[in-house]
């Protein structure tokens, strides 16, 4: 009788698993749509681990989407305390040890698990998109979606999406050898259902004098920016240009963002410092980010992004002042 019950339980599990698979889309591009939508429109809360080289970091995230908008709180649980509070179009980065709050707008690329943009159709132009195996992450069944770059200007991506909801539970970026550059993985997660409003409230009380830095900047048109690319970087298009304050007596920096829909490269153009900008020129790597700096016509140009160095360097070398 016990063997019969165990066999019945196993059959029921297999039937449920097959039903979930039957409801899931077969087209990998449709899966990208589910992943993009789930990260922005679902309620979820959980703990995930970020890995880059030998560096590991654990964070707790709570996300709520309702009729009034999108709200999120992310707290880094390791090292120096930090939290990021998102309320629709405003993001506050709280650094309690420095008693500093940085206010900005959400960037073009969202934080895990909302890694994909709402518009993802162009990804197929730069990546081969295909389905992988079904496996388990954080105790849940997931579908693996692979994004394999068509050239050497971007990295590959491996995305594990929960079968029923489409929420991204694991994301891995790999180089041309298939080695891991960085990885996000939920260790536990709750998807859907009500979220306690207390979970979205800031943890750190603002006692005493805090410094508030408004990093919003002001949007600039391509024509008014005064800078342009001499040669386009294949697959990357200009998505935004913003002037950002550098601080007292330091002027402003021009911030240009180029994206292929998955990867993005930021280019900062700022006035040259008193040291002539000689220190730190050329290539540099920090974790998953490649950085390239050069002097151009009395300005320091810094290009950086989670892309191969050759892409960052080509973009950094390709920008120059427009003729006045």
Average pLDDT per block of 10 residues along the chain, 324 residues long: 40 40 68 93 97 94 94 94 92 94 76 81 89 97 97 96 98 95 97 93 85 87 91 91 80 91 93 65 89 93 96 95 77
Going by C-alpha positions, the residue among 301, 179, 164 that lies closest to residue 230 is 301
pLDDT at 276: 53
Q: Give the residue extent of every domain in the chain.
A: 21-200, 217-321
| Assigned token pair, 158 | 């491996």
Q: What is the largest CA-CA distance in the chain?
A: 87
pLDDT for 222-252, tens place per residue? 899 999 998 889 999 999 999 988 876 677 8
Q: Where are the beta strands (DSSP E) in 248-281?
A: 251-259, 264-271
Buried b / exposed e along 38-73 (16+ C-beta atoms within 10 A): bbbebbbbbbbbbbbeeeeeebbbbbbbeeeebbbb
Please state whether beta strands 100-104 and 90-95 pair in parallel, antiparallel, or not at all (unpaired): antiparallel
Tell me how far apart the alpha carbons of residues 232 and 241 are, in angstroms, rounded to a whole number.
16
CA distances from 77 to 47, 50, 59, 83 (A): 9, 11, 5, 9
**Domain 217-321 maps to which CATH number in 3.30.200.100, 3.30.70.100, 3.40.50.1110, 3.40.50.620?**
3.30.200.100
The CATH number given to 21-200 is 2.50.20.10
3-class DSSP state of 4: helix
| Assigned token pair, 76 | 């880094």
pLDDT at 208: 79
CB 164 within 8 A of CB 20: yes
pLDDT at 128: 96
CB 222 within 8 A of CB 232: no
| pTM score of the predicted model | 0.86
Q: Give the single-character DSSP code of 233.
A: P
Which helix (H) or strand (E) segment holds residue 307: the answer is: none
Tell me how far apart the alpha carbons of residues 146 and 153 are, in angstroms, rounded to a whole number.
17
3-class DSSP state of 72: strand
Backbone angles phi, psi at 217, to 5 degrees: 70, -175
**Residues in contact with 247: Cβ distance below 8 Å, sequence separation at least 6, in sequence order:** none
CB 311 within 8 A of CB 283: no
Going by C-alpha positions, the residue among 242, 248, 241 that lies closest to residue 213 is 248
| Assigned token pair, 271 | 């006035």
Say how many Å lie between the first and final Cα of the chain, rounded. 87
**How does DSSP assign 139-207, residue by residue?**
TEEEEEEEEEESSSSS-EEEEEEETTT--EEEEEEE-TT--EEEEEEEEEEEESS---GGGGS-SS---
pLDDT at 12: 42
What sign does the dihedral 167-89-49-127 (CA atoms) show? positive
């Amino acid at each position: 009788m016990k063997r019969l019950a165990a066999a019945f339980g196993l059959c029921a599990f297999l039937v449920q698993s097959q039903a979930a698979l039957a409801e899931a889309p077969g087209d990998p591009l449709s899966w990208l749509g589910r992943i993009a939508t789930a990260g922005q429109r679902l309620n979820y809360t959980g703990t995930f681990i970020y890995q880059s080289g030998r560096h590991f970091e654990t964070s707790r995230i709570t996300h709520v989407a309702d009729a009034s908008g999108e709200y999120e709180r992310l707290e880094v649980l390791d090292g120096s305390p930090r939290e990021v509070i998102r309320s629709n179009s405003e993001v506050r980065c709280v650094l309690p040890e420095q008693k500093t709050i940085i206010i900005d707008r959400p960037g073009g690329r969202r934080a895990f698990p909302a890694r994909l943009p709402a518009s993802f159709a162009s990804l197929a132009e730069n990546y081969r998109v295909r389905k992988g195996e079904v496996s388990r992450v954080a105790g849940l069944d997931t579908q693996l979606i692979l994004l394999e770059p068509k050239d050497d200007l971007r990295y590959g991506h491996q995305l594990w999406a929960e079968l029923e909801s489409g929420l991204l539970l694991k994301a891995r970026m790999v180089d041309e050898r298939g080695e891991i550059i960085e990885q996000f993985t939920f260790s536990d997660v709750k998807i859907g259902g009500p979220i306690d409003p207390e979970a979205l409230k800031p943890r750190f009380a603002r006692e005493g004098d805090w410094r508030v830095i408004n990093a919003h900047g002001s949007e600039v048109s391509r024509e008014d920016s005064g800078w342009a690319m001499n040669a386009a970087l294949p697959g990357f298009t200009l998505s935004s240009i913003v002037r950002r304050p550098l601080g007292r007596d330091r002027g402003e920096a021009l911030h240009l963002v180029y994206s292929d829909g998955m990867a993005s490269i930021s280019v900062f153009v700022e006035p040259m410092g008193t040291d002539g900008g000689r220190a730190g020129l050329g290539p540099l790597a920090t974790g998953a980010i490649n950085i390239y700096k050069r002097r151009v016509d009395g300005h320091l140009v810094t290009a950086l992004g989670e892309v191969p160095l050759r892409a960052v360097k080509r973009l950094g070398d390709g920008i120059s002042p427009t003729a006045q």
